[in-house]
């Protein structure tokens, strides 16, 4: 069973989570539900630090043994930090999607982007469908 | 999609179901890495009911099979299984398949699922063209098939098999009873482990499935999906039809030279003799990633910026713990240790040609 979706995070339809750090930056990753669907994650292609990304556009790639899946930026902005632990331990996403399995931090160009995302209740409802 | 007799069991086990050549098949029950390791370390049970089985009988069976198969089966004895390929007039591979010999006038062919109908039409045409006195019967629907593979397989299967399995050699088979029902059991498979392929009445194959899982619980036996079947076979450098081989790839290009006897007459042999003399335009090799990334099927391969081939299968291999794959390359780049570049999402990532298989049972 998937872990509960934390109520302090925001969510996308594509199963990313975003945490508002309160300083104009967002930490993001994929949800526990997403890692359950992907199962054994064996490779993560991280974005380059400094890359400009656009909300809803391809940001990173997560691969399981069988599949290759795009991860989309939850907000627009500049990638300011990436979770390099994932280079050698991609399975951190399986173990801990919402914390240790974070993918990157983005400095937002438009904080209102967060308003377009779902809260935990709405995301709960989406994945129950 | 077609369903095997075991479909309801897969659904009840919570398997992820995918379309595999028109069949609704379990790709995984838990996850691929776990199922892969279970097979290598304990034993895994696979639903292979989707594959095709034909009996071929009649006074000219031997001549017929020598004509359609690349392999010379003159030395095949009753009770032996031989891997072979069916070739077309261009020397391409119609299918790779196993050949079971029951008697001089009675064989069984076991084909891939997705190619079964094509194979049957091909065999019927080859028979009609030359008027061989043989009867080809498609017994696929009536035949259930389980693969039971891994170090614990023999002791579990022995408990429900009438005859002793110990004397059954690698690529040998017996006609016996499993759970009291008539069955064919061969010591063969597609995982690189010791194990068996079991054929029995499709309406009762579920009873064998259930009993193996029940008896095997203590030994850690588990059902295994097609996801791990693919990583297991790839670690052993075994071909998968439609990936490493197809109608346009010859046995000489597809690492099937060892099942191809150019000294006998069979369909397409002239083309293959010429190819052997002139040299093949591409060869199948194994590679492992040197840079970070996982190569996948159809990713282009280059050397010094020039295209030299394409990935046929690629994955992260759980037992060898590396990103590996097989690829068709121009022959001049096939030597072990050759450094190659694989294009992954527009970036060139370093890889090198390595010896097959990646994994060999100790």
Kindly indicate whether the ipTM for this predicted assembly is greater than 0.85, answering yes or no: yes
Contacts of B234 in chain A (CB under 8 A): none
- Domain with B105 in it: what CATH number? 3.30.70.1400
Nearest chain B residue to A70 by CA distance is B345
With a cut of 70, which residues of chain B have pLDDT below it? none
Domain range for B97 is 52-138
How many helices and strands in chain B, by DSSP H and E? 8, 20
Same domain, B153 and B191: yes
- Reduce the DSSP state of residue A64 to 3 states and report it: strand
Distance CA B191, CA B234 (A): 8
Distance CA B201, CA B296 (A): 38
Nearest to A108 by CA among A52, A68, A70: A52
Give the distance, in angstroms, between the CA of residue B361 and the centroid of all CA atoms in the same chain: 17
* b/e sequence B228-238, b meaning 16+ C-beta within 10 Å: bbbbbbbbbbb
Contact flag B292-A68 (C-beta cutoff 8 Å): no
Q: Please report the pLDDT score of residue A3 as a whole number.
A: 86
Same domain, B208 and B94: no
B127 neighbors B60 (Cβ within 8 angstroms) = no
- Residue A76 in tokens: 């627009």
Contact flag A64-B292 (C-beta cutoff 8 Å): no
Shortest Cα–Cα distance, B309 to chain A (Å): 21
Q: Please report the pLDDT score of residue B362 as a whole number.
A: 84
Peptide bond into B357 cis (omega under 30): yes
Nearest chain A residue to B225 by CA distance is A66
Distance CA B12, CA B73 (A): 43
Nearest to B191 by CA among B30, B355, B41: B41
Give the domain ranges of chain A: 12-113
- Domain with B187 in it: what CATH number? 3.30.1360.120
Per residue of chain A (129 residues), give pLDDT as tens: 678 999 999 999 999 999 999 999 999 999 999 999 999 999 999 999 999 999 999 999 999 999 999 999 999 999 999 999 999 999 999 999 999 999 999 999 999 999 999 999 999 999 997
Q: Which of B111, B138, B165 corresponds to the end of one domain?
A: B138
Q: Please report the pLDDT score of residue A30 as a whole number.
A: 98
Distance CA B201, CA B210 (A): 15
Total length of chain A: 129
- Residue B204 in tokens: 């009762």
Same domain, B46 and B62: no
- What number of other Cβ atoms are within 10 A of residue B113's Cβ? 20
Same domain, B41 and B149: yes
The verdict on B37 touching A (C-beta cutoff 8 Å) is no
Same domain, B57 and B125: yes
Same domain, B166 and B301: no
Contact flag A66-B323 (C-beta cutoff 8 Å): no
Shortest Cα–Cα distance, B227 to chain A (Å): 7
pLDDT in tens, B197-208: 999 999 999 999
Same domain, B225 and B330: no
The verdict on A64 touching B (C-beta cutoff 8 Å) is yes
Domain count, chain B: 3
The verdict on A42 touching B (C-beta cutoff 8 Å) is yes
Same domain, B40 and B80: no
CATH entry 3.30.70.930 includes domain A12-113: no
- Residue B61 in tokens: 């069976």
């Amino acid at each position: 069973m998937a872990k509960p979706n934390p109520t302090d995070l925001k969510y996308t339809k594509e199963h990313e989570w975003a945490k508002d750090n309160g300083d104009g930056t967002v930490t993001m990753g994929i949800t526990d539900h997403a890692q359950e669907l992907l199962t054994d994650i064996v490779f993560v292609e991280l974005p380059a630090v400094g890359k400009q990304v656009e909300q809803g556009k391809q940001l990173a790639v997560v691969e399981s043994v069988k599949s290759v899946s795009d991860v989309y930026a939850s907000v627009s902005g500049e990638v300011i930090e990436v979770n390099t632990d994932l280079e050698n331990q991609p399975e951190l996403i399986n173990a801990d999607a919402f914390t240790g399995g974070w993918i990157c931090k983005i400095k937002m160009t438009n904080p209102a982007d967060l308003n377009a995302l779902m809260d935990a209740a709405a995301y709960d409802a989406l994945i129950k469908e | 999609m077609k369903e095997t007799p075991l479909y309801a069991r897969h659904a009840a086990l919570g398997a992820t179901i995918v379309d595999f050549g028109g069949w609704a098949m379990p790709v995984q029950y838990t996850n691929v890495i776990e199922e892969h390791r279970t097979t290598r370390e304990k034993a895994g049970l696979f639903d292979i009911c989707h594959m095709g089985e034909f009996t071929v009988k009649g006074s000219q069976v031997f001549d017929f099979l020598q004509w359609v198969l690349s392999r010379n089966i003159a030395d095949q004895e009753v009770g032996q299984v031989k891997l072979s390929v069916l070739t077309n007039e261009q020397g391409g591979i119609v299918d790779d398949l196993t050949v079971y010999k029951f008697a001089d006038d009675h064989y069984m062919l076991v084909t891939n699922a997705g190619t079964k109908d094509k194979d049957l039409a091909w065999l019927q045409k080859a028979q009609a063209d030359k008027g061989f006195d043989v009867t080809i019967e498609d017994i696929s629907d009536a035949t259930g098939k389980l693969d039971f593979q891994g170090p614990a397989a023999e002791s579990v299967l022995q408990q429900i098999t009438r005859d002793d399995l110990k004397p059954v050699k690698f690529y040998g088979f017996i006609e016996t009873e499993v759970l009291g029902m008539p069955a064919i059991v061969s010591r063969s498979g597609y995982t690189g482990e010791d194990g068996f392929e079991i054929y029995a009445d499709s309406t009762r194959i579920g009873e064998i499935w259930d009993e193996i899982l029940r008896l095997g619980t203590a030994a850690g036996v588990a059902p295994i999906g097609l996801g791990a079947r693919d990583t297991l076979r790839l670690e052993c450098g075994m071909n998968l039809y439609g990936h490493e081989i197809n109608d346009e790839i010859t046995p000489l290009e597809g690492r099937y030279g060892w099942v191809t006897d150019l000294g006998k007459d069979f369909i397409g042999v002239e083309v293959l003799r010429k190819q052997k003399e002139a040299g093949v335009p591409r060869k199948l090799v194994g590679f492992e990633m040197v840079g970070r990334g996982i190569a996948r099927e159809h990713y282009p391969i280059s050397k010094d910026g020039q295209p030299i081939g394409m990935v046929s299968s690629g994955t992260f291999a759980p037992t060898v713990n590396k990103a590996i794959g097989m690829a068709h390359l121009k022959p001049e780049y096939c030597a072990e240790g050759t450094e190659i570049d694989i294009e992954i999402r527009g970036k060139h990532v370093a890889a090198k040609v390595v010896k097959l298989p990646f994994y060999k049972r100790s």
